[in-house]
Structure formats: structure tokens, C-alpha cells
Amino acid sequence: MTTRSEQKKQQILKAASILFCEQGYGVSMDAIALKAEVSKQTVYAHFKTKDDLFDTCIRAKCVDNQLDDSLLEDTRTIDIVLKEFVLRFQSMLLSEEACQTYRAAVSQSETHPQLAKVYLQAGPQATTEMLAEYLQVQHDNHVIQLSIPAQDAAMQLLLMAHGKVLYWAYLGQKIEDSEQQNRGYLEACVDMFLKGYSR
């Protein structure tokens, strides 16, 4: 059962996440307390500093937006698995919540570099490690032949999967490509990737 203290903490995190995304790191703790409908003292009782609160928000959003680890248990052929994976990966990154979390981390990268590091560890790094583990298993099972470390191969595929649509989205723009065109692009990325590491 959720305690009253935990409920207050979740109210604060929800309010802070919204305001950090809307106003950036400059939002005041007073505004966060008002949005959360708690006292400023309650905010500080749970989070000693604004850095601590921002750090917790970034971690929570990254965990919420992570892809699950079902990739490692998928027994279908590698081309089907990877094509579905990159579609889910890009779709996740295109969600408004993921875009806002990314922008919030980037906006503080110079003044609070440790927060950008938190974002990288909880988001991109976790996804890369999961994909790398899958690729290493496929290599060990002689399905593909990696010529570089699995981590590097995973990064290659993930960067290709970002595509034009994601870069435009992070700048608040939309592209004219249809969903079918974008799907074709992602599937071609996987085909090229597998051709490069075919046995």
C-alpha cells in the first residue's frame, strides 16, 4: 500500500517533470511545490536540492521510456527481430515524453554535465547494452559474424535507426515522409546491417 509520504513524493516528481520540460532547469522550487500542491518544506524533505530533484526526474523518465528486455528472449529469425526492434526503438524516441526528457538533459549539459551523464546511462546506454547482448548471442551462435565489438555494432544500428524523422522531431519539426516510407527506411537499415555482418 502506498504511504502518504510516497504519494507526496510522486506528486512532486510529476509536477517537477512537467515544469522542467516546460520551463527548463530555471523553474523555481516554489513553482514546483505549488504545482504539486505541497509545501516547499515537503519538497525539500524529499529532495535536498533542485539538482537532486532534476536527477531523479531524468532517471525516472529514462526508466519509463526504456524498451523491455523481451529482445533477449525472442526466438524468431534475426531479421524479423531487429526490424521490429528498430521500429519500437524509434517510436519510443519519438514520444513527446522522450523528446522532452532529451531536451531537458541537453539544456543543462554545460552547467550540469552530470545530469546529461545520468540521461546517457539510464537511457541510451541501457538500450545499447541490451542490443549488444542480443547481437553477441547471435554471433556466438554463428548467425552473424561481427568484425567489431558487439557494443560498437549495436551503436551502429541504433544510430541508423534514429533516422531523419527523429532529428527533425527533436527540433520540433515534422517531415513529409509517410509512415510507410519511414518503415521502409528502417527495414533497409537492418538489411544493410545484416549484409555487412553476414557469415
* DSSP-assigned letters across all residues of 112-157: -HHHHHHHHHHTHHHHHHHHHHHHHHHHHTTSS--SS-HHHHHHHH
Q: Inform me whether the pLDDT recorded for 4 exceeds 50.
A: yes
Q: Which of 3-12, 36-45, 173-182 has the lowest mean pLDDT?
A: 173-182
The count of residues in the chain is 199
Q: For residue 174, with 0-12 CB atoms within 10 Å meaning exposed, 13-18 middle and 19 or more buried, which class applies?
A: exposed
State the average pLDDT over residues 113-124: 78
State the average pLDDT over residues 34-41: 94
**Does the predicted TM-score (pTM) go above 0.85?**
no
Q: For residue 82, with 0-12 CB atoms within 10 Å meaning exposed, 13-18 middle and 19 or more buried, which class applies?
A: buried
| Domains of the chain with CATH codes | 4-48 (1.10.10.60), 58-197 (1.10.357.10)
**Confidence band for 149, pLDDT divided at 50, 70 and 90:** very high
Of 197 and 118, which is predicted with more confidence?
197
State the average pLDDT over residues 99-116: 78
Q: Inform me whether the pLDDT recorded for 1 exceeds 60.
A: no
